């Protein structure tokens, strides 16, 4: 099927080139210019044989169809300076300037006309579009800081209405660099305008605001032999709810109501990695039938990814989205120490996530009480907390353990390396790894001993005199937050709150070092750790092979835009105007540095894109060909030598001066332009190959 789609893409692009050359041919015939050759496709010479599918002569013209269905040309008598000119009246250079201009613009005009017609055909057949609903929002990114959330529907960018994500993303990228863009969003059937300041993404090579399009809850792909395939999940099944169970209890249910498909899938991944035993129940809608399938969470004996079943401590508020109701209950830097239901005893926690909430309460209407290190409590609805976690309320490991402190500060404040900084002047430590500010005399620093007497809070004041420079470098040690039920760490009774210092003698400085140390080991391992009490201990255990990924992919949140012919004509005109204008916006963005050149596609990339689009449907293929045709038309009219626009430029000078530009000057200008085009072709082809590989 891939080969067929590649052939369709090549034939489609070849057709557009044929249309362009046909425009030149018809215009030349119309004004009486003799056409020596009308060729479509390349005709490479192979061992002396010119690779042609068809060649014949009719009248004064040789008609050729080359073996490779890309490229083409029209050779007109007297077009090129040189010895083939006879000054006959049917030669190109003998025609008046208006006639020659007509021939030169005819190719681009045909592309613009066919682009418009292809748009009409595309919307008549039906174009599958990605909805403008937001899926994921990058934490601390521009959109997140502006209060945009998953599930929001973008309806306009800077006042221009759009219904699909592709147009939204393009409009943002071409809006003018880092200048704020105004997004009109719908949330809970209420429309509002939000100003967002894009940031440069060096990887993408353009300005972005940190959003991704939404997925649906419909399964698009099931990996053969995967855990979900083994329990009978199929493509087009819809995921409705998730339930996690372990032998001792039924821990947590996550229904789809009130959650976007993206958040539901995140919940699935979170719960999947929360235990090494038990099962995961998925509620599936298949047609009119509701099904419950159960996935065993036992380790995969055939896998090669080893682990001991631990999760890092994650109970510190790292960020709260501006405008979120969570701001009324928490502060950045809060460390949640315990959680419970009103009227019941609170439970100390090391990790605040869906699993923890499920252990405490299953009643989604219950009110939870969360106590933090500041000595205050937050009373939050269970359902609200579940909804906030991971998007509006970011909980994670606090990078606030002292790795280094200036000598002066250590002597004055007596804060040891390994201590945890809780707050400075009653302001909690948020997301940072370096604090070098100067503190005025009388400033207060609150810290705790990370290894001894953890509940003892120390408060120190800076002395009178000159401001004190802290020079703090903070880090996050490999501190255990939870041991997964049924895992080696759980069975070996590793205590939450313990710090892992080494694996088989290899120092573990931070949590990220732990996975590589375990994966690179063979057989049993020795873990050197510091328990919450401060006791140093060595524990030997045998890692297990972690369970395989579920093996599913969800389909995009799409809709099909299929219009009656009359409406398709209107939409075709609108799309032609919009995309024609975007060519100039793109050129402006490239020269201004707002878009990197690596986003340009060459022939290889265009064919690959055509292949992918062909898989979606003919409507999308026609839409892509319409875009290419509009681009061919407008780019050929740009005043660049070798292109039709370059020839038009020289003709314009000829009309003004009354005589043509000298052949010598034209020769050198075209030579330089040719070298530039070859360089550009190499550059875009290199980018194409990088993307494909």
Active site residues: 21
Q: Print the SS3 string covering 254-289.
A: EECCCCCHHHHHHHHHHHHCCCCCCEEEEEEEECCE
Residue found under tokens 């401001």: 467
Alpha-carbon span 672 to 25, nearest angstrom: 27
Alpha-carbon span 253 to 451, nearest angstrom: 36
Burial (0-12, 13-18, 19+ Cβ within 10 Å), 489: buried
* Number of Cβ within a 10 Å radius of residue 307: 21
Alpha-carbon span 305 to 335, nearest angstrom: 32
Comparing C-alpha atoms, which of 508, 496, 503 is closest to residue 540? 503
Beta strand residue intervals within 6-60, DSSP E: 35-42, 45-46, 49-50, 52-58
Q: Print the SS3 string covering 68-82.
A: EEEEEEEEECCCCCC
* Number of Cβ within a 10 Å radius of residue 644: 24
Phi/psi of residue 290, nearest 5 degrees? -100, 130
Tell me the pairing of strands 215-222 and 206-208.
Answer: unpaired
Comparing C-alpha atoms, which of 126, 88, 99, 114 is closest to residue 28? 99
Alpha-carbon span 475 to 405, nearest angstrom: 12
CA angle 66, 67, 72 (to 5 degrees): 35
**Which tokens in the block code for residue 669?**
């200008």
Alpha-carbon span 217 to 21, nearest angstrom: 47
**Which tokens in the block code for residue 619?**
């409507």
Alpha-carbon span 526 to 524, nearest angstrom: 7
Comparing C-alpha atoms, which of 85, 47, 46 is closest to residue 66? 46
Beta strand residue intervals within 408-561, DSSP E: 420-424, 427-428, 434-435, 438-439, 444-448, 457-461, 468-469, 472-475, 480-483, 499-503, 506-507, 525-530, 536-541, 544-545, 552-556, 558-561
Residue found under tokens 């006639």: 99
C-alpha torsion sign, points 450, 453, 457, 459? negative
CA angle 232, 238, 240 (to 5 degrees): 105
**Which tokens in the block code for residue 133?**
């609903």
- Helices and strands in the chain, H and E counts: 16, 45
Tell me the pairing of strands 35-42 and 61-66.
Answer: parallel
Q: Print the SS3 string covering 491-532.
A: HCCCCCCCEEEEECCEECCCHHHHHHHHHCCCCCEEEEEECC
Q: Are 607 and 6 in contact (CB under 8 A)?
A: yes
Give the Å distances, CA to CA, from 674 to 41, 153, 317, 669. Answer: 20, 46, 58, 9
Q: Are 150 and 391 in contact (CB under 8 A)?
A: yes
């Amino acid at each position: 099927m891939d080969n067929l789609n590649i052939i369709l893409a090549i034939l489609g692009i070849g057709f557009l080139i044929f249309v362009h050359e046909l425009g030149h041919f018809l215009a030349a015939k119309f004004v009486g210019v003799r056409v020596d050759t009308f060729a479509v496709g390349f005709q490479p010479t192979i061992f002396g044989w010119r690779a042609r599918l068809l060649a014949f002569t009719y009248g004064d013209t040789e008609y050729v169809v080359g073996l490779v269905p890309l490229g083409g040309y029209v050779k007109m008598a007297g077009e090129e300076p040189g010895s083939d000119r006879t000054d006959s009246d049917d030669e190109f250079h003998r025609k008046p300037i208006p006639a020659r201009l007509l021939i030169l613009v005819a190719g681009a005009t045909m592309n613009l006309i066919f682009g418009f017609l292809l748009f009409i055909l595309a919307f008549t057949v039906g174009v599958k579009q990605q909805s403008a609903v937001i899926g994921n929002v990058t934490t601390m990114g521009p959109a997140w800081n502006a209060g945009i959330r998953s599930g929001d529907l973008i309806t306009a960018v800077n006042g221009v209405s759009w219904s699909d994500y592709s147009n939204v993303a393009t409009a943002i990228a071409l809006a003018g660099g880092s200048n704020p863009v105004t997004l009109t969003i719908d949330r809970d059937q209420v429309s509002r305008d939000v100003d967002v300041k894009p940031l440069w993404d060096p990887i993408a090579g353009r300005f972005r605001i940190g959003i991704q399009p939404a997925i649906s809850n419909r399964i698009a792909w099931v990996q053969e032999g995967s855990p979900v395939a083994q329990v009978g999940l199929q493509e087009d099944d819809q995921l409705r709810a998730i339930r996690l169970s372990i032998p001792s209890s039924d821990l947590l249910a996550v229904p789809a109501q009130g959650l976007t498909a993206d958040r539901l899938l995140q919940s699935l991944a979170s719960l999947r990695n929360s235990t090494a035993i038990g099962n995961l129940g998925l509620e599936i809608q298949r047609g009119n039938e509701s099904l419950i399938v159960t996935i065993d969470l036992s380790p995969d004996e055939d896998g090669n990814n080893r682990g001991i079943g631990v999760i890092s401590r994650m109970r510190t508020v790292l960020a709260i989205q501006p405008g979120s109701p969570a701001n009324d209950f928490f502060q950045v830097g809060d460390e949640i120490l315990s959680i419970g239901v009103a009227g019941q005893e609170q439970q100390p926690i090391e990790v605040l996530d869906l699993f923890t909430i499920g252990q405490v309460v299953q009643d989604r209407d219950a009110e939870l009480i969360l106590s933090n290190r500041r000595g205050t409590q937050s009373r939050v609805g269970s359902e609200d907390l579940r909804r906030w976690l991971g998007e509006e309320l970011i909980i994670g490991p606090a990078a606030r353990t002292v790795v280094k402190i200036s000598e002066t500060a250590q002597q004055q404040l007596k804060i040891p390396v390994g201590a945890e900084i809780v707050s400075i002047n009653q302001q909690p430590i948020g997301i940072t790894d370096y604090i070098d500010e100067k503190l005025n005399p009388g400033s207060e620093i609150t810290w705790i001993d990370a290894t001894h007497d953890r509940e003892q809070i120390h408060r120190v004041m800076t002395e009178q005199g000159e401001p004190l420079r802290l020079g703090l470098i903070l880090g996050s040690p490999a501190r255990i937050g939870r041991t997964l039920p049924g895992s080696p760490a759980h069975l070996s009774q590793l205590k939450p709150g313990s710090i892992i210092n080494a694996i088989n003698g290899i120092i573990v400085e931070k949590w990220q070092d732990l996975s590589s140390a375990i994966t690179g080991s063979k057989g049993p391992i020795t873990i050197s750790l510091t328990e919450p009490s401060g006791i140093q201990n060595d524990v030997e255990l045998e890692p297990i092979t972690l369970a395989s990924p579920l093996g599913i992919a969800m389909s995009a949140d799409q809709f099909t835009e299929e219009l009656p012919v009359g409406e398709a004509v209107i939409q075709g005109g609108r799309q032609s105007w919009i995309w024609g204008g975007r060519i100039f916006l793109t050129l402006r963005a490239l020269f201004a540095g707002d878009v990197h050149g690596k986003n340009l596609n060459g022939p290889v990339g265009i064919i690959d894109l055509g292949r992918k689009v062909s898989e979606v449907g003919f409507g999308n293929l026609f839409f892509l060909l319409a875009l290419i045709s509009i681009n061919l038309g407008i780019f050929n009219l740009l005043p660049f030598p070798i292109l039709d626009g370059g020839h038009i430029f020289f003709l314009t000078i000829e009309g003004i001066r009354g005589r043509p530009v000298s052949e010598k000057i034209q020769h050198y200008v075209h030579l330089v332009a040719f070298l530039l085009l070859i360089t550009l072709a190499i550059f875009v082809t290199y980018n194409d190959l990088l993307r494909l590989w």
